């Protein structure tokens, strides 16, 4: 497991070519720039799958959502698969309100995300 410079996002590599980002706090306007920075950094590496594990994220606002939309677009251009997992119902609600739940690959667990 390698830690990035981020204070609230750890970066793990469970398998060759797969990177898992694990934010450990709410993602709002004060923290989404950090998430964006880590996503860009990891996207620049040769990974074929980037997983964002939201298990420890109790809350996300539209700035977090915008960051993930941007990452999804960059991933498509990079031929990287971006998968989001372990969303709690409150975080899931914002994806639904913004009607972006079908735009992302969202699965229930990290294991599912790895095997997808």
Partner 1 sequence: MISRWIQNLRTTDPARNTHPMDQRPEIELRLTSDPMYLCGARELVACIARRIGFDDMDCAKIALAVDEALSNIIRHGYERAFDKPIWLGISPLKPSANTIGGIVIAIEDEAKQVDPCHMKGRDLDDIKPGGLGVHIIHEVMNDVSYEKRKGCGMRLVMTKYAPRPSDSPRLSDQAPSCKVTLNDRSPSRR
Residues that bind partner 1 (CB under 8 A): 26, 28-30, 59, 61-63, 65-67, 69-70, 89-90, 93-94, 97-100, 103
Tell me the closest approach of the beta carbon of residue 44 to partner 1, in angstroms: 18
Q: For partner 1, give the closer residue by CB, 18 or 43.
A: 43
Cα separation, 67 vs 57, in Å, equals: 15
How far is the CA of 67 from the CAs of 14, 19, 112, in angstroms?
A: 23, 17, 23
Give φ, ψ of 67 to 5 degrees: -65, -40
| Shortest distance in whole angstroms from residue 37 CB to partner 1 | 15
Structure tokens at 105: 């690959």
Number of H helices, E strands in the chain: 4, 5
Nearest distance in Å: CB 75, partner 1: 13
Q: Closest Cα to residue 39, out of 51, 57, 27? A: 51
Of 31 and 110, which CB lies nearer to partner 1 in the complex structure? 31
What is the closest distance, in whole angstroms, from the C-beta atom of residue 109 to partner 1 in the complex?
Answer: 22
Nearer to partner 1, 18 or 66 (CB): 66
């Amino acid at each position: 497991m390698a830690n990035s410079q981020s204070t609230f996002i750890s970066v793990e590599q469970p398998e060759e070519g797969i990177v898992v980002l694990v934010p450990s706090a709410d993602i709002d306007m004060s923290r989404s720039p950090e998430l964006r920075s880590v996503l860009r950094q990891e996207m620049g590496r040769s990974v074929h799958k980037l997983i964002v594990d939201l298990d420890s994220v109790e809350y996300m606002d539209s700035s977090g959502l915008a960051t993930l939309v941007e990452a999804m677009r960059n991933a498509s251009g990079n031929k990287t698969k971006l998968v989001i997992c372990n969303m709690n119902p409150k975080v899931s609600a914002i994806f639904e309100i913004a009607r972006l739940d079908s735009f992302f690959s969202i699965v229930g667990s990290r294991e599912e995300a790895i095997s997808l």
